[in-house]
Amino acid sequence: MSAQVPHLSSATPPTPARFGVAAVALTVVLAAVTLGAWAQAFFGAEAGLRIGNRSGGIVSRLQVCLPGGECLERASLWPHESWRVPLPEGVTRAEVSVQTQGQRQGQGQPVTLDSDRPAQLIVTQGGQIERQ
């Protein structure tokens, strides 16, 4: 006796989901908001200070001192990394000092800050600080 296997019909191929105009519009709006937020984060023109490391080595200590005596520090800054220093509103001067490979660089370099865009400094080889 042979057993008969019931014949099953093939499954219906899945149909692609259909989106309405509202879903497409919502996707476009969310994409635009996301891109705008990323652009503001990376290219925003906030007042403040940005320090980049182009020294070729690790900067082991950065210090930014404000006129009131308050200092902000960062333990290390890797090559090609930058630090956006959060400064209080209205601060127009700061003093920046760095330490590279165990060598402290002088008393620090005074920096004048603009009220409408960040000052950009670069730590070069030998731990020198240059304004960009």
Whole-number Cα distances in Å, 55 to 1, 15, 37, 49: 86, 57, 31, 18
The whole-number pLDDT of residue 81 equals 92
DSSP H helices, 1-132, are 21-43
What would you measure as the largest C-alpha separation in the chain, in angstroms? 100
- Count Cβ atoms below 10 Å from residue 66 Cβ, excluding itself: 15
The whole-number pLDDT of residue 101 equals 62
Q: pLDDT tens across 90-116, in order?
A: 888 888 888 766 555 555 677 777 666
**Site of tokens 């476009």:** 28
The DSSP call for residue 125 is G
Mean pLDDT of the chain: 76
Structure tokens at 80: 């090609």
Least confident of 11-15, 26-30, 94-98: 11-15
Strands laid side by side in the 48-53 sheet: 82-85, 48-53, 118-123, 129-131
Amino acid symbol at 95: E
